[in-house]
């Protein structure tokens, strides 16, 4: 006869918004609990190799924080004090202590849209004069270089001419050091590209459809 199954203990998570979405980090160790799909912020974090309990992460911090875990830091785009966004590096263990944060990219005329982890690097998407730009940063926030895109256009994960980067990432992480996306130009329909973030070289997987 089988033993009685162990009863799980329900944790009390006092989130500030009705919408909550757990996101597994690229390291497959940490889980971030994002709230508010229109103005996302990870209010809690779970270390699956720790005590197994959720702890407050950016719960009472003002502004949007979209980002990814890279090493022992959370690389985040925030609109706190920056309408078009700025990129900050937040240590996972001291997220509630702003003095430990480091600004990697300050507020500028360009719009910071997205950041995704790929291996031990962060890939940052911004818009320069409405066109997409991709840059690679190492785990310490140092710029390694820019990814040479096939012309001026839009990096996206959907085939449309618009991006909801505050709701869903514009890129997809496929392998440890690889990100995938669709790229379209004013005179060309979307094509599928894959980028090796170590070499910053792109490969066209599928071509644009003929109009």
State the Cα–Cα distance between residues 51 and 9, nearest whole angstrom. Answer: 13
Lowest mean pLDDT of 130-139, 158-167, 181-190, 198-207, name the range: 158-167
Per-residue pLDDT of 144-192, as tens digits, reads 999 999 999 999 887 666 666 777 788 888 877 999 999 998 888 889 9
* Mean pLDDT, range 70-93, rounded to an integer: 96
Look at 6 and 34; give whichever has higher pLDDT. 34
pTM of the model: 0.89
Neighbours of 187 (CB within 10 A): 9
- Look over the chain and give the mean of its residue pLDDT values, rounded to a whole number: 90
- pLDDT at res. 8: 61
* Residue whose entry in the numeric block shows the structure tokens 């094509």: 191
Secondary structure, 3-state, 126-145: EEECCEEEEEEEECCCCEEE
């Amino acid at each position: 006869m089988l033993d009685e199954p162990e009863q799980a203990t329900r944790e009390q998570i006092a989130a500030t918004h009705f919408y909550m979405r757990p996101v597994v980090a690229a390291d497959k160790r940490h889980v971030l609990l994002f709230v508010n799909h229109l103005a996302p912020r990870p209010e809690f974090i779970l270390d699956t190799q720790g005590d197994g309990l959720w702890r407050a992460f950016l719960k009472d911090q003002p502004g949007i924080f979209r980002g990814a875990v890279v090493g022992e830091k959370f690389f985040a785009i925030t609109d706190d004090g920056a309408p078009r966004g700025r990129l900050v590096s937040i240590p996972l263990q001291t997220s509630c202590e702003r003095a430990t944060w480091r600004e990697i990219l300050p507020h500028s005329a360009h719009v910071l849209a997205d950041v995704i982890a790929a291996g031990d690097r962060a890939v940052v998407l911004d818009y320069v004069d409405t066109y997409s730009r991709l840059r690679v940063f190492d785990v310490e926030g140092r710029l390694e270089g820019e990814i040479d895109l096939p012309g001026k256009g839009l990096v996206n994960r959907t085939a449309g001419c618009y991006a909801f980067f505050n709701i869903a990432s514009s890129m997809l992480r496929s392998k440890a050091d690889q990100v995938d996306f669709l790229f379209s130009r004013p005179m060309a329909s979307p094509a599928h590209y894959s980028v090796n973030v170590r070499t910053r070289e792109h490969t066209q997987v599928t071509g644009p459809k003929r109009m």
